[in-house]
Copies of this chain bind each other. A is one copy, B any other.
Amino acid sequence: MADGKKLRDIAWKDFKALPLTEKGTYFQGTPPHTLIAQQFTRKQLEELCTLATRIKRINKRRAGANFLKGLLSDKRAMLYFAQPSSRTYLSHNAACQILGLDTMDVRDTKTSSEVKGESPEDTIRTFSSYADMIIMRHPKGGFAERVAWMLAHTGREIPVLNAGSGSDQHPTQALLDIYTLERSFEDIGGVDGKHVAFVGDLLRGRTVRSLAWMLTLYKDVTLHFVAPEALQIGQDILDLLDEAGTKYEVTQDFASVMPVADAIYMTRIQDEWDEEGESSTESSDYHIGAEHLDIIKDTCAILHPLPRRKEISTDIDNDPRAVYWRQMRNGMWIRAALILQSFGRDDEVNKYYDDY
């Protein structure tokens, strides 16, 4: 990765004001941080996907799994989850275990010294003292970036991996989505030229926003945003797509999108919305089930970040086009790839794989 710009050479105020893609160039230094979707180039995405698949395959055999466990057995990661999240936590934890990376976790922030009047910066610096990497989830937007910047100003800078901060960024979720699309389209020409439909609550889901951005890195992709008016995708994302020259459609008509979509990305419509009086009939328009299996393409991939509620019927779970369970496991593999890359040891996997 490029190593020109250093976080320690820029003031927080100036850094904070940078546009996202510009910020990203600061995260590719030594050590590399994973903080925002916008820091990735297409080349990096492809390298990560290749690495993830190699790790996944090597792990299938016992000798391979034991080889992987030696890759980071000399390191320790701190999982700091100030916001509860079983599945994101477990997925990262499993990724660490695959690589033999020991983990410590802080999940209940009330037991931390914040109660003793310590600043959040001191708390994080303390936790980072015991580890070689910090994987963090925090309710405050931009907090992970702040941590990376702060650590750059100490004598012990370690990689920071953002496992979700505030409502804005959850880059590893976008990475696992890309990885799932890459794998789904492996035999049909890859992601370029495909139609990807996003369905449900597109307003609040940070997942959709990050993934939409990452898809601008691909050629000739068309995005379809299918949602009730009140939950449609934000204008800022549309502006971004315009700027990147990525085609898109904004619609409430899921039926018209189904037959053309190469991937359908379902999302959960939140409780809050339902309570505001939306009729269940209306929300059922943003649903997929056995009755649609004949309408969608034979090669269509159905994704969902999970947990789901009623937007996907369980009776399509065993259809080969339902990839959301595989998508979940993909998260573990792509995170393992990302963590390994943070320590600059991806070459060891590539070498082992070639000799495999």
- Interface of A with B (CB < 8 Å)? 59, 62, 65-66, 69-70, 73-76, 78, 84-87, 90-91, 93-94, 97-98, 102, 104, 106-107, 110-113, 116-119, 121-123, 125-127, 129-131, 153-156, 268, 271, 306-309, 314, 317-318, 325, 328-329, 332
Contacts and interface: CB of A to CB of B under 8 A. Distances in A.
Nearest to A116: B307
B126 A104 contact: no
Contacts of A271: 117
Contact of A307 (B117, B154, B155): B117
A308 B126 CA distance: 11
Please list the 3 inter-chain residue pairs (A to B) with the smallest Cβ-Cβ separation, ordered nearest first: A65-B74, A118-B307, A113-B307
Contact of A73 (B69, B111, B123): B69
A105 to B, nearest CB: 9
B307 A126 contact: yes
Contacts of A90: 78, 104, 106, 127, 130
Given A66-B73, A66-B74, A112 B126 contact: no
Copies in the complex: 3
A94 B329 contact: no
A124 to B, nearest CB: 11
Contacts of A308: 118, 122
A170 to B, nearest CB: 15
B122 A306 contact: yes
Contacts of A309: 116-118
Nearest to A96: B102
Contacts of A123: 307
Nearest to A95: B130
Contacts of A329: 129-130
A346 B191 CA distance: 46
A202 to B, nearest CB: 18
A180 B217 CA distance: 51
Contacts of A66: 70, 73-74
Contact of A94 (B73, B106, B130, B318): B130
A62 to B, nearest CB: 5
Given A118-B309, A307-B116, A97 B76 contact: yes
A318 B98 CA distance: 37
26 contacts: A59-B74, A66-B70, A69-B73, A69-B74, A76-B97, A76-B98, A85-B111, A86-B127, A87-B126, A90-B106, A90-B127, A90-B130, A93-B104, A113-B306, A116-B307, A117-B307, A119-B314, A121-B314, A122-B308, A122-B314, A123-B307, A125-B325, A129-B328, A130-B329, A154-B325, A155-B318
Contact of A104 (B75, B94, B117): B94
Nearest to A84: B111
A161 B131 CA distance: 22
Given A62-B74, A116-B307, A154-B317, 5 more contacts: A84-B111, A86-B106, A86-B112, A94-B104, A97-B102
Contacts of A127: 86-87, 90
A112 B84 CA distance: 8
